[in-house]
Structures are given as C-alpha cells and as structure tokens.
C-alpha cells in the first residue's frame, strides 16, 4: 500500500483564487491580487515596490483575463499603456476585495530556479510546489500608489463579461 506524501496532493490555490475572484465580481467588489515578483513574473517593473506588486484583476481593468491552474495572465493598462501580464500561481500572495479587505492570503513560497514555472517568453520550466495553508484574511486598508495598480478607469475600452447566470451566493 502506497502512503500518499503531502507533496503529492494537488494544490487548491488556483481554485481558491478563482472562487474569491468570482465572489468579488459577483458582489460588486474589486478583486486585487498581491504578487511576489521575481524573474518568472511579467509585470511592468516600474510599478514594483519591495519585490511586490498589487494588481487590479477585475474584469473592467483587464482584457483576456485567464486564471488557470498554473498562471494568471491578462492585458492591463499601466500609465495608460496596455501591457501583457503573466504571474505563475506560485507567486500569488493574496487575493482580496479592495472595498472591504476580505479575501485569502497564501504563504510565500521559496523556490529554486529549477522549481519554478517561467514566463512564456522564457525557457519552459517545472511548476513550483504549491504553498501550503491558505488563510482567510481581512486585509487592513493600506495606502497604495494608485499608478501601481491597473485601473478600471484606464480600461474603459476593455469589454465587460456578460452578467447574470450562476455564481456564488452569500450564505449567512
């Protein structure tokens, strides 16, 4: 009988990211994603502070948003300029609603260069091990440099997804 190693369990992180994103979108909140930036992340480096960046990942602030099991990618405006964004799931630190700070944080993962998923413009690599122990959080409001976050105001030309249909419902 084979004993399952804890590292063999598939990560829940991308599913939780999608769920919190859907919850924010369904309830009229703006989903923000905190990202730990390294050479595998494609973001405008001018907006990175202390190796981190906060991204507005709302449908109004992004174009072609993809939240897959391995990565987050979209086109976003920074300083009025559309740029391609690529974030391996392993580099996402948190996702939360801008308006109330409710969301989920993930432990930072330490990865070696052999354990990371690299950006599409770089040589293919191996997916990083998932962070263990997601935590429900309420993020305290912080002062954020607005130019470091993609803005829905800058993205009026991005089409919005159709509303209605399924989604998460608030249960008390």
pLDDT in tens, 113-137: 333 333 444 333 333 334 445 555 5
* In the block, residue with structure tokens 């602030």: 61
Q: Which residue has the higher pLDDT, 2 or 80?
A: 80
Res 110: pLDDT: 54
Return the exposure string of 116-125: e unless at least 16 CB atoms fall within 10 Å of the residue's CB, then b. bbbbeeeeeb
Residue 33 in this model has a pLDDT that exceeds 80 = yes
At residue 10 the predicted structure's pLDDT band, cuts being 50, 70 and 90, is confident
* SS3 (DSSP) at 152: helix
State the fold for domain 10-146. SH3 type barrels. (2.30.30)
Evaluate whether 93 touches 105 at the Cβ level (below 8 Å).
yes
Tell me the pairing of strands 81-88 and 92-97: unpaired
pLDDT averaged over the chain?
75
17, with CB counted inside 10 A (0-12, 13-18, 19+), is buried
* In the block, residue with structure tokens 């391996």: 88
How much is the average pLDDT of 68-92?
Answer: 95
Res 158: pLDDT: 46
């Amino acid at each position: 009988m084979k004993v399952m190693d804890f590292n063999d369990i598939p990560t829940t992180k991308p599913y939780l990211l999608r769920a919190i994103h859907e919850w924010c979108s369904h309830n009229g909140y703006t989903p923000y994603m905190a990202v730990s930036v390294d050479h595998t992340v494609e973001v405008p480096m001018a907006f990175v502070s202390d190796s981190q960046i906060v991204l507005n990942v709302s449908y109004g602030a992004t174009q072609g948003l993809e939240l897959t099991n391995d990565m987050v990618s979209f086109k976003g405006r920074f300083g009025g300029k559309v740029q391609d964004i690529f974030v391996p799931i392993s580099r996402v630190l948190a996702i939360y609603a801008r308006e109330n700070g409710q969301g989920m944080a993930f432990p930072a993962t330490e990865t070696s260069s052999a354990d990371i998923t690299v950006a599409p413009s770089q040589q293919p690599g191996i997916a990083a091990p998932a962070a263990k122990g997601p935590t429900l959080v309420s993020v305290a409001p912080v002062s954020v440099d607005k130019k470091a976050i993609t803005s829905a105001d800058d993205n009026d030309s991005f089409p919005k997804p159709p509303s209605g249909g399924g989604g998460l419902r608030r249960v008390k």
